Amino acid sequence: MNLVEELGERKIIDLIMECLDQMPNTPVPFGDDVSAIDIGNGKLAVIKTDMLVGKTDVPAAMNLWQAARKAVVMNVSDLAAKGVQPIALLASIGIPKGLSKKDIQQIGKGLNNGAREYNAYVLGGDTNEASDLIISCAALGICQKRDLIKRSGAKPKDYVAVTGFFGKTASGLKILLENLLVPPDIKEELVNAVFMPRARLKEGLALAQTQAATASIDSSDGLAWSIHEISRASKVGFVIDNLPIASEMEKFTQIHGLDPVELSLYGGEEYELLVTVKPKFWQDAKEAVENVGGSLIKIGLATKEKGLFLKRMGKTVPIEARGWEHFKTGLNQRA
Amino acid sequence: MNLVEELGERKIIDLIMECLDQMPNTPVPFGDDVSAIDIGNGKLAVIKTDMLVGKTDVPAAMNLWQAARKAVVMNVSDLAAKGVQPIALLASIGIPKGLSKKDIQQIGKGLNNGAREYNAYVLGGDTNEASDLIISCAALGICQKRDLIKRSGAKPKDYVAVTGFFGKTASGLKILLENLLVPPDIKEELVNAVFMPRARLKEGLALAQTQAATASIDSSDGLAWSIHEISRASKVGFVIDNLPIASEMEKFTQIHGLDPVELSLYGGEEYELLVTVKPKFWQDAKEAVENVGGSLIKIGLATKEKGLFLKRMGKTVPIEARGWEHFKTGLNQRA
């Protein structure tokens, strides 16, 4: 257990965290979706950085415009989960030799379109020569301190809910990487989840306004892992009794004899929000999200007991703490 | 002229910039050392991202602690040039397979030590699998809007000054890459400039307080290029009559028959500040920098005429607009 490929991403993050001095009175704990500093007057400056790497995050069929847009969406999604509007984006780009002028323009347009889609602007960045395509974005937003939804506020009996159905991206990736046959309408929906991920920004902003959400996380490491993270940060357990299985994904699994529970729980690379909500404010939260054109689907309950369980078809099974993890589940390992 | 290796970094940046919508009323123009947003009460949130790539920015003899520290220093230096204290740093890390647990700890410690050296903290980040070592940092600081020193404020007759002597890093790199023999005391100084670059943060903060500086830039792309950038942004020319040649570098060039003017003007990868100062406040600026233990060396004058010239030993020669440029002057091209 000494090389990074044996350690895996989570252990690597722990090793780095152990080397870091903690900032006193930091408003958001290390390991939440974003970092923040107090800027006075009840406000926070919120920042996030997330890196897209060609060989693990960009399937061959994805174009550079889509890749650059995805690099933006990955960062916007983390601010969305905290209820924070991104204002500015920066992009540090590593460019492999052999890319053309048109390729660079595709990257520039993808960055700009991604940012403008969420009412943000790309303000600057940095370009470098690298062996892989690397697009490392940083997002900055300002919010009221009281509006930021951490991972740590869930209480027993809170409802747990999501902003959409799961398993589409994992299915889309399988279709692309294993060249699987599926009916065109289903294929389009599933493959689009890979090519055109969407951050649930308007949903996150609406939820922050209600003050109804007690905890929130984006689900980019998968539904199970996200539940696990809220559980760990909030010191609660969860019982999920309404697994949010995407219908297109279910049809896909029926055709290919795959397990829809596996794909929706452990697939990852999805950008839905997973939130906990005080039961008495459930209706407020649901309406707030629906008013901006989204949906909030109740999938279970937070519990005092620490375990994570899935109730489905009369059976109760543990939800494992696993999901998308670099060095373990990158495209190169999947392919 | 269609592939990135023919275009070069500056043209690539231009291509990307052309794709970006401009944020209205942005307090710092695109292409300055940092980006910023107005957060009210006369304050700005200032951000910067800069990426270190193993194969172009880390010579073989540099260890991972030094590389990670350098990735921090690169970002701190840009805030320093604007007179802004960095508060928070994020690090997106791309890790090649084969690195060990100890290597990761070296990276973590280098990031932390780099941040703490400048009174900042590493608040978060992201780890990924990549073919090269990649450390993309983002730095965040808050400043008074009136204190931020842009590239664009230089006026004819302003003094132009630097915080230290030039040519050490370029010499150190040459020694390392070409395995050149030099006396130990000179070698240590020159090689240290490569391994342990220092951001001129206290100098930049002191200058911002004086309000004496009219423009400022960090010199990481080289002295000539930095003069060129201030010239372009401020629409002034420059006559440099006191080239700040580092004495250790001059000795090194004498031994190896190299040109000290070439190395100090066009070497690059240095982290001195280049500033312009109103003549009547020159003494204030110089004393402010000396009071924090630094030095401010007057090297010439801004001129109404647009050209850039070096006066040296009775001759006047043009200063070319060239310097460190990825895809053109990376380590792999130098080696």
Cα–Cα distance between A264 and A258 in angstroms, integer? Answer: 11
Min Cα separation B13/chain A (Å): 7
Q: Which residues contact B316 (CB under 8 A, 6 or more apart)?
A: B239, B309, B310
Task: Tally A–B CB contacts below 8 A.
Answer: 288
- Which chain B residue has its CA at the smallest distance from A49's CA? B125
The average pLDDT across B101-129 equals 97
In this prediction, residue B9 carries a pLDDT of: 87
Look-up of token digits 């799961």: A166
In this prediction, residue A9 carries a pLDDT of: 87
Whether residues B136 and A51 touch (CB distance < 8 A) is answered with yes
Partners of B126 in the β-ladder: B92
Give how far Cα A81 sits from Cα of A32, A119, A120, Å: 10, 16, 16
DSSP string over A200-224: -HHHHHHHHHHT-EEEEEE-TT-HH
Q: How far is CA A11 from the centre of its chain?
A: 19
How big, in percent rounded to 5, are the helix, strand and coil portions of chain B? 40, 25, 35
Q: Which amino acid is at B135?
A: I
Contact B81, B126 (CB under 8 A): no
Where do the structural domains in chain A lie, given as residue ranges?
Answer: 4-147, 159-334
- Angle CA A223–B88–A58, to nearest 5: 40
- Which chain A residue has its CA at the smallest distance from B52's CA? A128
Partners of A274 in the β-ladder: A162, A217
Whether residues A22 and B55 touch (CB distance < 8 A) is answered with no
Cα–Cα distance between B120 and B141 in angstroms, integer? Answer: 9
Cα–Cα distance between B221 and B200 in angstroms, integer? Answer: 15
Q: Which amino acid is at B210?
A: T
In this prediction, residue B298 carries a pLDDT of: 98
What's the ipTM? Answer: 0.94
Residues of B in contact with A117 (CB under 8 A): none
In this prediction, residue A326 carries a pLDDT of: 66
What confidence tens digit (pLDDT) does each residue in B272-306 have? 999 999 999 999 999 999 999 999 999 999 999 99
Whether residues A9 and B127 touch (CB distance < 8 A) is answered with yes
Other CB atoms within a 10 A radius of the CB of residue A318 amount to 9
Whether residues B20 and A107 touch (CB distance < 8 A) is answered with no
Residues of B in contact with A50 (CB under 8 A): 92, 126
Whether residues A55 and B116 touch (CB distance < 8 A) is answered with no
**Class in CATH terms, B159-334:** alpha beta
Whether residues B134 and A138 touch (CB distance < 8 A) is answered with no
What does the DSSP 8-state code read for residue B140? E
Contact B101, A15 (CB under 8 A): yes
Cα–Cα distance between B204 and B77 in angstroms, integer? Answer: 9
What confidence tens digit (pLDDT) does each residue in B69-95 have? 999 999 999 999 999 999 999 999 999
- A4-147 with A159-334: one CATH topology? no
Residues of B in contact with A332 (CB under 8 A): 129
Contact A268, A220 (CB under 8 A): yes
- Which chain B residue has its CA at the smallest distance from A111's CA? B20
Considering chain B, what percentage of its residues have pLDDT values greater than 70? 96
The whole-chain average pLDDT of chain B stands at 94
The average pLDDT across B161-165 equals 98
| Nearest one of B49, B302, B59, B34 to A71, comparing CA atoms | B49
- Which chain B residue has its CA at the smallest distance from A13's CA? B127
Whether residues A45 and B50 touch (CB distance < 8 A) is answered with no
Phi, psi of B137, rounded to the nearest 5 degrees: -100, 150
What confidence tens digit (pLDDT) does each residue in B173-184 have? 999 999 999 999
What fold, for A4-147?
A: 60s Ribosomal Protein L30; Chain: A; (3.30.1330)
Whether residues A37 and B87 touch (CB distance < 8 A) is answered with yes
Whether residues B56 and A129 touch (CB distance < 8 A) is answered with yes
Look-up of token digits 């506020």: A153
Contact A161, A297 (CB under 8 A): yes
In this prediction, residue A329 carries a pLDDT of: 62
Min Cα separation B139/chain A (Å): 9
- A144-165 burial, b at 16+ Cβ within 10 Å, e below that, comes to eeebbbbbbbbeeebbbbbbbb
Cα–Cα distance between B59 and B54 in angstroms, integer? Answer: 8
Min Cα separation B313/chain A (Å): 38
Render each residue's pLDDT in chain A as its tens digit; 335 residues.
589 989 988 899 999 999 999 999 999 999 999 999 999 999 999 999 999 999 989 999 999 999 999 999 999 999 999 999 999 999 999 999 999 999 999 999 999 999 999 999 999 999 999 999 999 999 999 999 999 999 999 999 999 999 999 999 999 999 999 999 999 999 999 999 999 999 999 999 999 999 999 999 999 999 999 999 999 999 999 999 999 999 999 999 999 999 999 999 998 889 999 999 999 999 999 999 999 999 999 999 999 999 999 999 999 999 998 876 666 665 544 43
Contact B297, B244 (CB under 8 A): yes
What does the DSSP 8-state code read for residue B166? B
